[in-house]
Amino acid sequence: MKIIIDRYDGTQHYKQAYVVDKKDIEGKTLLSLLLFIKQNLDATLNFTASCRSAICGACGVRVNGHSVLACDEKMEELLATYDNPEVITISPLANFRVISDLVVDWEPSIENLRKIRPTFIPKDEFSAEKGCKQTQAEYDKIQKQWDCILCGCCASECNKLTADSSDYMEPFVFTHAHRATFDSRGKDPMLHAKAAV
């Protein structure tokens, strides 16, 4: 099958095709495919990855225009989603500046996260000795927001960012602002919310 990767060398964007045998990707993830290409076909291919366990969020890319975590995307399932095509296209996340190939610039997004101060300041009743306890019910209210691993897939799919990012932060910034604002252990909840609106 043919894998087309949208590449960028610092001066120009271009597409590069790689041919892989389907048996080489059986039982593997999309990240394994990228590693196979880098190790066997083209050592110049650049992408980011770290944990390989869908925990760190570093390997976000787009496949046929849809954002995914490469380490969490099984090739058989991915190909079945697209009716087992003979060609797939892998691109960097949308709505980020491309640094090289599939590597994108996170610095503006990190700056937006800094604005909302995603770490909470504990209430005065908490200390290093006593800890910062909360009930299960209090945690359950923000559990979904704690699950955000900052992979950037939501920002890549965000139509508002595509149309005009000048007055809007990435969706994951709002997720972390929500988590910090509604964390029952926080001393100043509105500190996080004000920066996000």
| pLDDT (0 to 100) of residue 35 | 97
Q: How far apart are CA 53 and CA 29, in angstroms?
A: 11
Domain boundaries, the chain: 2-103, 106-196
Q: How far apart are CA 95 and CA 67, in angstroms?
A: 11
**Tens digit of each residue's pLDDT (9 = 90 or more) over 7-42:** 999 999 999 999 999 888 889 999 999 999 999 999
Domain 106-196: CATH superfamily, name plus number: Alpha-helical ferredoxin (1.10.1060.10)
**Tens digit of each residue's pLDDT (9 = 90 or more) over 81-116:** 999 899 999 999 999 999 999 999 999 999 999 999
Q: Do domains 2-103 and 106-196 have the same CATH topology?
A: no
**pLDDT at 196 exceeding the cut of 90:** no
Q: Which CATH architecture has domain 2-103?
A: Roll (3.10)
Residues 6+ apart with CB under 8 A from 192: 116, 117, 118, 120, 176, 177, 180, 181, 186
Tokens of residue 9, six digits: 């060398």
**Tens digit of each residue's pLDDT (9 = 90 or more) over 125-137:** 998 898 999 999 9
**pLDDT at 191 exceeding the cut of 90:** no
The percent of residues in the chain predicted with pLDDT above 70, rounded, is: 100
CA distances from 35 to 48, 91, 130 (A): 10, 15, 46
Coil, helix or strand at residue 62: strand
